[in-house]
A = this chain, B = another copy of it.
């Protein structure tokens, strides 16, 4: 099978780097085009990017020239890892030019006709593509994945919502510094410290969670009707968002029911064995002091959400801790899994 050439918008940032790393030996896609800000244009990638990952830059990418961030010359499948303000301008332009824009940016996530998708959770939402005006004009479209802090949460909540219906969700996050990109968080701000604020993060978590667990409804998504409150903190961790969560369920459930819901949870990526799909999308660890970023963040290649410490909550019904890799499942891996879903459904032809 010939691989589909893909482009990366925002290729020099931390998430752009993860895209390149995860695409290095991808069986379906190959990196054919890289774009970044004007400053990088025309330079070799290895020179333009300040590579921050532990594996080296793939040789095939290192010498690639960085293109201007414009559709002319770009392949038809584009992974976008742009700041929201830039994405708001560029993503529509690429979609209009006929590109499948698979975006990690927040710019269009909540737009009525833009699907916000996790393949294990709401694969049917991709149909919203057909409502996009770009699609009608040029066959182009935009599909998005969620914020990194919403991602792990929704994977842990989806099995519960499906079986027992969520009534209330409260989540407090302890987020890794890689979530802020590079250079991102200054070392003087985080060494020995906690920063109890991440701009717009709580709003994103609260609305994206309800769209992801919402119901496709003609040309839009009806948000899931539960109440949701988030508090977001930054901690001195490199990769991996930890979250302390409490939930109230409409249908009462025992601990064993909840554990079973997580264990049984699986979706199209697992059934169809997508290249980037983890075998286990949600894993429960029984040790009393887990999950921890140090031990659990790489599980499932960084695509699994690890849950632990399930116990009853004196206020709502249940509380637990979850951990999710923020730049893999929470960003590049999420978009890649979306691309695999789109490919399997014939949207990338």
Contacts and interface: CB of A to CB of B under 8 A. Distances in A.
Contacts of A168: 315
A21 interface: no
A179 to B, nearest CB: 10
A54 to B, nearest CB: 6
Interface residues of A, number: 56
B238 A197 contact: no
A69 interface: no
Contacts of A319: 229, 231
A292 B191 contact: no
A233 B228 contact: no
Interface stretch (A125-133, A169-177, A266-274): A169-177
Given A170-B170, A170-B246, A244-B172, A292 B195 contact: yes
Contacts of A316: 229
Contacts of A182: 186, 188
A237 interface: yes
B231 A315 contact: no
B186 A235 contact: no
A165 interface: no
A253 interface: no
Interface in A288-346: 288-295, 298, 308-309, 313-316, 319, 321
Give the 6 A-B residue pairs with the shortest CB-CB distance, closest first: A183-B186, A172-B172, A197-B289, A231-B244, A196-B321, A229-B315
29 contacts: A14-B188, A54-B295, A54-B298, A170-B170, A172-B172, A172-B244, A174-B233, A178-B188, A182-B188, A183-B186, A184-B186, A185-B187, A186-B186, A187-B187, A188-B238, A191-B236, A192-B237, A193-B237, A193-B292, A195-B289, A197-B290, A197-B309, A227-B315, A229-B246, A229-B314, A229-B315, A233-B244, A233-B321, A236-B236
Interface of A: 14, 52, 54, 168-170, 172, 174, 177-178, 182-197, 206, 227-229, 231, 233, 235-238, 242, 244, 246, 288-295, 298, 308-309, 313-316, 319, 321
Given A191-B237, A194-B235, A229-B246, 8 more contacts: A174-B194, A186-B186, A192-B238, A193-B293, A194-B242, A196-B289, A206-B314, A231-B246
